[in-house]
Structure 1
Amino acid sequence: MSLLPVAEAQARLLALAAPLPEEQAPLVEANGRWAARDIAALRDQPSFDLSAMDGYAIRYAERPGPWTVVGESAAGAGFGRPLGAHETVRIFTGAPMPEGADSVLVQEEAERDGDQLRMSGEGPLRQGGNVRPRAVDFAASTILVSAGTALTARHVGLAAIGGHGTFPVRRRARIALISTGDELVPPGAPLSGAQLPASNAAMLAALLAGRPAEVLDRGIVRDDLDAIAEAFQAATSVADVVVTTGGVSVGDRDLVRPALEKAGAALDFWRVAMKPGKPLLAGKLGGAVILGLPGNPVSSYVTARLFLLPLIARLGGAADPLPSARLLPLGVDLPANGPRQDYLRARIEEGRAYAPDGQDSAAMVALAAADGLIVRAPHAPAARAGDSAEMLILD
């Protein structure tokens, strides 16, 4: 089986999934998810002409006065009747403009003696000065947020001011994590012989924290064909995506692929032209997507960034689920690349990208210190310091 280009593998993985069912989420729970439908304003903003300054509501044509002060208009209250000729009210920022007034004389340019008022400065420069007209921000029925938009605190605030108390989103994806390997023990457990701490599940759970996903850690499964197949079947009954780490290469103890076949899964692809992360597989078992990540922790992390996170975005209804790269100048020379797309762990220093030594797929120090991944296309020629390079920024 030939190696699949990264972009094709991503497209084929995303084609295995469809957006999950829609639900209404409270605004405070919508951040980090994606809008399931267009969100239209339920009201004008503002819903009335209002004052943009503290001062006095006047008719522009009556400048420079005098006016008689007949009351006040405060935010949330307003003045109860139309203004007559040469009448004014004290008005505060955000308060409704009374009927009959069209401008605001700011208090610093007003001279008041009892209930008598005159201009002491140049006053508003035009009719409508210091007034925010009705619907100047948006009118009712305006589309505020388009379907598929990644929601932020800014969109939450916009929806709230638009009259909404909830957001239509997709339900959170249920992600089952399965670690495979006789050598693994839970993090922090005593080690003996050639045992290793199982770092991948904890790392992936941390990567998914704050994203619209429910993580189901299914523990460590020993290197046994039947045990792995049974773990797959059990996980697919409760999860939308089953993620395995380890056991996807070609060794005698790499049993994930044959276990999937034994469980009845349909394999879509296996092995991708990328470094790190070549032994990556994807398929379907029942209604769940299966994503087999490499066991080496750096490979597991990089493939999760490039495949698992976009898959969650696809399930969440993202308009564009794939990550985007930034262009940054290189701080060092890079040699010509080989036949696989390379992802170099890199630091950003003074606006330049530096890829340190220690790029082995099991070396975690460089990954933990990295700000991003420099993307090197297959067969890319040698690059010099100062050349632009694509970089995926890590959070």
Structure 2
Amino acid sequence: MVAVNTAKKIIAEQCVQLPVVQVDLLNALNYALAEDIFSPIQFPAFRQSSMDGYAIYWEEKANPLFIQAAMPAGTEQPLLLQKGKAIQVFTGGPIPDGANCVVQKEWVTVNNSTIEIQLNNNIQLGDHIRNIGSDLQKNTLLLQKHTVIQPSHIALMASAGITTVKVLQKPSVGILITGNELVQPGNTLSFGKVYDSNAFTIQAHLKKVGITQMQVRYVSDNLQETENSIKELLLHHDIVIITGGVSAGDYDYVPQACINAGVQQHFHKVKQRPGKPLFFGTQKNKLVFGLPGNPAAVISCLYQYVIPAIDQICGTHTIQSTTAKVSTAFQKNIPLTQFLKGYLEGNTVKILPAQASYQLSALTNANCWIELEESDTQIESGTEKRVYLFL
């Protein structure tokens, strides 16, 4: 049996990033960049108006000006502004050559084909003109390698004309649900049976962190069937997550089935609650997690081990933690690291009821896990503890 920090260190040492892939810009959301991104253009690429109005020679602002033309957004041919004249311009559209000021239309009186500017307004040389490259210069560093792409990053790259990017590939995941007692939701529940929630729980969490390639298989508590299923999933996936069958019962075949399937065991059992029977192994660069079958233990292990491993492989940072003061005292009677369902508000965290590993009800009211260290016994109100925020 290993300590929590030891288990995390062992897993981290086995995580290997997958080959870089090139994806379309819209499909790059929540991926980590595999290289620095530089602007291939300068932006704006032309002098651009930031206001609907009239482009003029600033020194002629006191004179009536004849309207020479209009240059709406999208105009493809440049124009030279003639002396004594004004050209109507629009937000985002080009500025005529020679013009050195844009007067917003609210400050202009139009009389047939001429304009007069209201001089009581403060009109400055260069007003409302976006100069070439004022936002981006060509070859400017837009985004650094390992940046996790957000919608604002996609907007920035699209504005620079970028359509594809190289990113760190996300792993495919095989999910194996074991247990004679399990019935898939939608089927009749007979005596001694329970509905499986783990397949749904795992898939929901993985989707939340951007994993799209998943396969779920069900197997009864049978050594050979379990071994065959593990072998099959390892053929097609980078990570295999197994639930149930990892403890020491007569029908707990997962650790032996993993070994029979060619998985190298790195540890089995962690000094924690929930999730004490956790199994971890590898086959070459593929990761195998054996999680307990109890639903809360599955979720706790996802947050502490599985998703951090995915983050390391993908270069992402989805699990966030902080510290907070517990609102009430708590007696811990076990010499194990304990993860409790909690509700964080400000810098205070409340320990919720229904902490047993089979109880899902408290999770609907929780927004974090509270970590109590192995050496903790009596936790006094106001004690500061590490909390892991829900996705």
Normalising by structure 1, we get a TM-score of: 0.89
**Cα distance change of structure 1 residues 338 and 379 upon mapping to structure 2, 3 Å threshold:** farther
- Give how far 1:377 is off: 3.4
For the residues of structure 2 that align with 1:357 and 1:242, how far apart are their CA atoms? Answer: 32
**Residues 75 and 338 of structure 1: is their aligned pair in 2 closer, same or farther, counting only changes over 3 Å?**
farther
CA distance in 2, matches of 1:62, 1:88: 10
Alignment of 1:104 onto 2:92: no
- Inter-CA distance 332–130: structure 2 relative to 1 (3 Å threshold): farther
**Aligned match of 1:357:** 353
SS of match in other structure, 1:237: helix
Aligned to 1:293: 291
Aligned-residue offset at 1:380? 4.5
Note if 1:80 corresponds to 2:78. yes
| CA–CA distance in structure 1, aligned partners of residues 140 and 276 of structure 2 | 47
1:362-387 deviation digits (Å, cap 9, x = unpaired)? 11100132122223333347555556
Size of the aligned set, in residue pairs, is 390
**Corresponding letter in the other structure for 1:161:** S
1:10 to 8, 15, 19: 8
Task: Give, in angstroms, the shift of residue 270 of structure 1.
Answer: 2.5
Contact 2:67/2:115 (CA < 8 Å) preserved in 1?
Answer: yes
Matched-pair contact (CA < 8 Å) for 1:373–1:391: yes
In the other structure, the counterpart of 1:332 is 328
Paired with 1:384 and 1:122, the residues of 2 have a C-alpha distance of 68
Residues 362 and 65 of structure 1, relative CA distance in 2, 3 Å threshold: same
Q: Which runs of 5+ in 2 are unaligned?
A: none
- Post-superposition Cα deviations, 1:94-131, rounded to whole Å, max 9, x if no partner, equal 11111111221111222333333332044455332222
Distance 1:348 1:260, change over 3 A: same
Q: 1:166 to 1:275 in 2, by over 3 A?
A: same
Q: Which structure 2 residues correspond to residues 1-395 of structure 1 after superposition, within 5 A?
A: 2-6=1-5, 8-77=6-75, 80-123=78-121, 125-210=123-208, 211-219=210-218, 221-318=219-316, 321=317, 323-335=319-331, 339-348=335-344, 352-380=348-376, 385=381, 388-395=384-391
Q: Which amino acid aligns with 1:239?
A: H
Asked if the contact 1:72–1:78 (Cα under 8 Å) also holds between the matched residues in 2, the reply is no
Q: Gapped runs of 5+ residues in structure 1?
A: none
The 1:192/1:39 distance shift into structure 2, 3 A limit, reads same
Letter in 1 for 2:17: P
> How has the CA–CA distance of structure 1 residues 276 and 23 changed in structure 2, closer, same or farther, with 3 Å as cutoff?
same
Question: Which moves more between the two structures, 291-300 or 162-171?
Answer: 162-171
Question: 1:243, CA displacement in angstroms?
Answer: 0.6
Q: Residue deviations 1:132-187, cap 9 Å, x none?
A: 22222222222222222222222221221121122322444211111122222323
> 2: CA distance between counterparts of 1:224 and 1:339?
33
Shift, 1:246, TM fit: 1.3
8 Å Cα contact 1:346-1:354 kept in structure 2: yes
Q: CA deviation at 1:290?
A: 0.7
SS of residue paired to 1:13: helix
Kindly, what percent of the aligned residue pairs are identical? 27
Shift of 1:85: 2.9
Deviations 1:264-286 (A, max 9, x none): 21112222333222221211124
The 2-side partners of 1:287 and 1:126 are apart by 64
Tell me the distance in 2 between the aligned counterparts of 1:267 and 1:238: 20
For residue 64 of structure 1, report the CA deviation from its aligned partner.
2.9
Q: Is the 8 A contact 1:33 1:212 kept in 2?
A: no
| Cα distance, 1:89 vs structure 2 | 0.7
| 1:348 to partner: Cα distance | 4.3
Displacement of 1:208 after TM fit?
Answer: 1.7
Q: Is the 8 A contact 1:337 1:378 kept in 2?
A: no
In 2, Cα distance between equivalents of 1:393 and 1:27:
29
Q: Could you tell me how far 1:298 is from its partner in structure 2?
A: 0.3
Tell me, yes or no, if the aligned pair for 2:36 and 2:144 is still in contact at 8 Å. yes
Superposed displacement of residue 78, structure 1: 6.0
AA aligned to 1:300 is: V
Shift of 1:361: 0.8
> What is the CA deviation profile of residues 305-356 of structure 1, one whole-angstrom value per residue up to 9, with x for unaligned ones?
22222222333233xx462213445443444685433322123458743222
Q: 1:125 to 1:170 in 2, by over 3 A?
A: same
Scaled by the length of structure 2, the TM-score of the pair is 0.90
Q: Secondary structure at the match of 1:209?
A: helix
Task: Report the alpha carbon displacement of residue 70 of structure 1 after superposing the two structures with TM.
Answer: 1.0
Secondary structure, counterpart of 1:173 in structure 2:
coil
Q: Say what the alpha-carbon RMSD is for the aligned residues.
A: 2.6
**In 2, Cα distance between the equivalents of 1:67 and 1:383?**
79
